[in-house]
C-alpha cells in the first residue's frame, strides 16, 4: 500500500491512518483507535540519552520491532520524537525490516538509529553474513545500518565469531555499517550466562551497543553488565523489562475439563498413567496453580490494579530511572501502545509504584521464571531448556503468538527437549530454583499454550 502524506511535514496521525488504511484496519489485528484520543494532551519523547561511544542521542523509549508489520506505526512514533528502532532479519521473516523500510522515506535518516540482528550459525561464512546483511539493507530501504547485532548470543565463543567480525570490518570500511553490537537473553541449554557473555563482549572492545534483559526482577545481573558497559563507554538498550501477565486459572472438573486440561490428561497418559492417575495429577497441578494465583489477589486489591498496564508502566519507569541504561526497547503493536510507551519518556516512579514493584518481588516473584537465568539447567535429566521455553511464553503473551509457537515447535525439529517431558517427571529442577518457581506447572501450561492455541 502506498503511504500518503497528509501535511507538509509528512506526519501521520491516528486520524490519517484511519483515512489512509481503513480497509487495512478491518482485517488487521490492531485495536480500533478512538478519535477522541486526538484531543488528549500531545504525547512526545521528553528525554534522550547518548548511546555511549556511538555519540547518538537516543530517545529514552525505543521501539522493539519484533512483531512490526505496519510502516505507519514507525512514522507515528517518529513524529512523536522516538528515534531508536530495534529489528532483526528474523522478525516476521523480514516483515519487520520491510515495515521500517516503508517508513524510511518519511524520516530524516540522520536523526534515527536503526539496529538489526543476524542469527549466527556454526557454518556461517563472512560472505554469507554480508549477503544476509545486504538483504536487510534492501528491506530497510537505506544505504547504511547504524548497528548490526549478533542476535541472542548464547556463549562467549559466539561473540568472538570471526566471520561476524570480518563481515563487520568490511561493511564498516564500505560505509554500509556504523557499529557492531550484541544482544543476549541468556543461554540455550548449557550455554554461558548473560552476564558472562556481555561482560566479555564489553571487554572484547569490538562492540559499541548491547541489548540486554533488565528488569526489577533481573536487577543484579543487569547492573553488573551496565557497569562494564559504562567502563567501556558502550551504548545500552533494555529488553524484556516487565514480568508477564497476572493470570487467573480455571477450576478443574474431570467431567468437563477445559481443552488445556484435557490435553494435559492425554500427555500424562502418554507417560503410561491410567485415567485415574492422570486426572489426579492434573487436579493436583491445577490446585498448585490456583494456590500460586491466590497470592495474586491481595496484591491486585492492595494496588487497585485494573489493567496489567499498571505493572507494565511501573516496570518500564524502573528501568529508565537508571541513567546507565540509555534506551528501553518496548514492543509496540498498535497506536495505543505507541502512545502509552512514549508517555513514559522522562517519567519517574511514584512512591506507590516503588511499593508495587517491591511487593511484587516479595509476594509474586515465585510466579515468574527469570529471563536470562539458567540456574536449574543441570538438574533436568531431559535437558529441557527451561528459561528458553519460558521466554517463548513471554513472546506469546506480548502478542507474538506465531513467533512463539514456531520457536517452540522448532525445539522438536532440532531434537531438543520440550515441556512434554515434564508430564512424567517429579521436578527436581524446582529444588534448584532460587526464586521458588513452580517449573513443572509453568512449563506444562506453556506447552498447552504453544501447541494448542
* Residues making contact with ligand SF4 (CB under 6 A): 369-370, 373-376, 379-380, 382, 384, 386-387, 421-422, 425, 427-429, 433, 435, 437, 439-440, 443
Helix (H, G, I), strand (E, B) or coil at 101: helix
d(CA 129, CA 161): 11
On whether the CB atoms of residues 339 and 77 are closer than 8 A, the answer is: no
How far, in whole angstroms, is CA 413 from its chain's centroid?
23
Nearer CB in complex with ligand SF4: 280/427: 427
Per the CB < 8 A criterion, the answer to whether 225 and 195 are in contact is: yes
Cβ neighbours, 10 Å, residue 227: 12
Q: Where do runs of H (alpha helix) occur along 2-53?
A: 14-27
Instruction: Read off the C-alpha cell for 130.
Output: 554480508
345 vs 374, beta carbon nearer ligand SF4: 374
Closest CA to 417 of 429, 435, 433: 429
Query: Residue 54 class from Cβ within 10 Å (0-12 exposed, 13-18 middle, 19+ buried)?
Result: buried
Calpha distance 330→200 (Å, rounded): 26
| Cβ at position 243, least distance to ligand SF4 in Å | 11
- Closest approach of ligand SF4 to the CB of residue 41, in Å: 40
CB of 299 to ligand SF4, least distance (A): 19
| Minimal distance, residue 351 CB to ligand SF4, in Å | 28
Give the whole-angstrom CA distance, residue 347 versus residue 389: 33
CB of 442 to ligand SF4, least distance (A): 8
Q: Which is nearer to ligand SF4, 112 or 285 (CB)?
A: 285
Q: How far is the CB of 426 from ligand SF4 (least distance, A)?
A: 7
Which residue, 83 or 442, is less far from ligand SF4 as judged by CB? 442
Tell me how far apart the alpha carbons of residues 221 and 154 are, in angstroms, rounded to a whole number: 15
Amino acid at each position: 500500500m502506498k503511504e500518503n502524506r497528509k501535511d507538509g511535514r509528512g506526519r501521520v496521525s491516528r486520524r490519517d491512518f484511519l483515512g489512509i488504511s481503513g480497509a487495512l484496519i478491518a482485517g488487521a489485528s490492531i485495536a480500533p483507535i478512538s478519535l477522541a484520543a486526538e484531543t488528549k494532551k500531545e504525547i512526545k519523547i521528553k528525554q534522550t540519552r547518548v548511546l555511549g561511544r556511538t555519540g547518538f542521542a537516543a530517545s529514552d523509549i525505543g521501539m522493539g520491532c519484533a512483531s512490526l508489520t505496519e510502516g505507519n506505526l514507525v512514522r507515528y512514533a517518529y513524529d512523536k520524537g522516538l528515534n531508536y528502532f530495534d529489528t532483526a532479519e528474523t522478525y516476521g521473516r523480514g516483515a519487520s525490516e520491510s515495515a521500517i523500510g516503508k517508513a524510511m522515506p518519511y524520516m530524516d535518516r540522520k536523526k534515527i538509529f536503526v539496529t538489526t540482528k543476524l542469527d549466527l550459525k556454526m557454518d556461517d561464512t563472512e560472505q554469507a553474513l554480508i549477503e544476509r546483511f545486504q538483504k536487510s539493507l534492501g528491506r530497510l530501504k537505506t544505504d547504511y545500518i547504524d548497528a548490526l547485532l549478533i542476535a541472542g548470543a548464547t556463549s562467549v565463543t559466539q561473540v568472538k565469531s570471526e566471520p561476524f567480525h570480518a563481515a563487520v570490518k568490511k561493511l564498516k570500511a564500505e560505509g554500509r555499517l556504523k557499529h557492531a553490537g550484541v544482544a543476549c537473553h541468556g543461554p540455550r541449554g548449557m550455554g554461558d550466562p548473560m552476564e558472562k557473555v556481555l561482560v566479555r563482549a564489553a571487554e572484547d572492545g569490538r562492540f559499541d551497543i548491547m541489548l540486554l534483559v533488565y528488569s526489577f526482577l533481573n536487577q543484579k545481573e543487569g547492573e553488573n553488565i551496565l557497569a562494564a558497559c559504562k567502563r567501556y563507554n558502550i551504548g545500552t538498550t533494555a529488553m524484556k523489562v516487565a514480568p508477564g501477565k497476572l493470570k487467573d486459572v480455571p477450576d478443574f472438573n474431570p467431567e468437563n475439563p477445559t481443552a488445556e486440561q484435557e490435553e494435559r490428561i492425554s500427555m500424562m497418559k502418554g507417560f503410561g498413567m491410567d485415567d485415574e492417575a492422570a486426572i489426579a495429577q492434573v487436579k493436583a497441578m491445577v490446585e498448585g496453580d490456583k494456590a500460586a494465583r491466590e497470592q495474586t489477589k491481595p496484591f491486585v486489591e492492595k494496588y487497585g490494579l485494573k489493567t496489567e498496564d499498571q505493572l507494565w508502566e511501573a516496570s518500564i519507569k524502573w528501568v529508565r530511572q537508571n541513567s546507565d541504561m540509555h534506551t528501553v526497547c518496548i514492543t509496540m503493536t498498535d497506536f495505543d501502545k505507541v502512545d502509552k510507551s512514549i508517555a513514559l519518556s522522562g517519567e519517574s516512579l511514584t512512591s506507590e509504584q516503588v511499593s508495587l514493584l517491591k511487593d511484587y518481588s516479595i509476594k509474586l516473584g515465585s510466579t515468574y521464571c527469570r529471563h536470562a537465568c539458567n540456574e536449574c539447567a543441570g538438574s533436568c535429566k531431559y535437558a529441557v531448556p527451561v528459561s528458553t521455553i519460558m521466554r517463548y511464553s513471554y513472546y506469546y503473551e506480548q502478542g507474538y503468538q506465531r513467533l512463539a509457537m514456531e520457536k517452540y515447535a522448532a525445539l522438536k525439529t532440532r531434537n531438543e527437549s520440550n515441556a512434554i517431558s515434564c508430564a512424567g517427571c517429579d521436578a527436581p529442577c524446582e529444588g534448584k530454583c532460587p526464586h521458588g518457581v513452580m517449573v513443572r506447572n509453568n512449563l506444562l501450561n506453556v506447552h498447552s499454550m504453544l501447541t494448542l492455541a
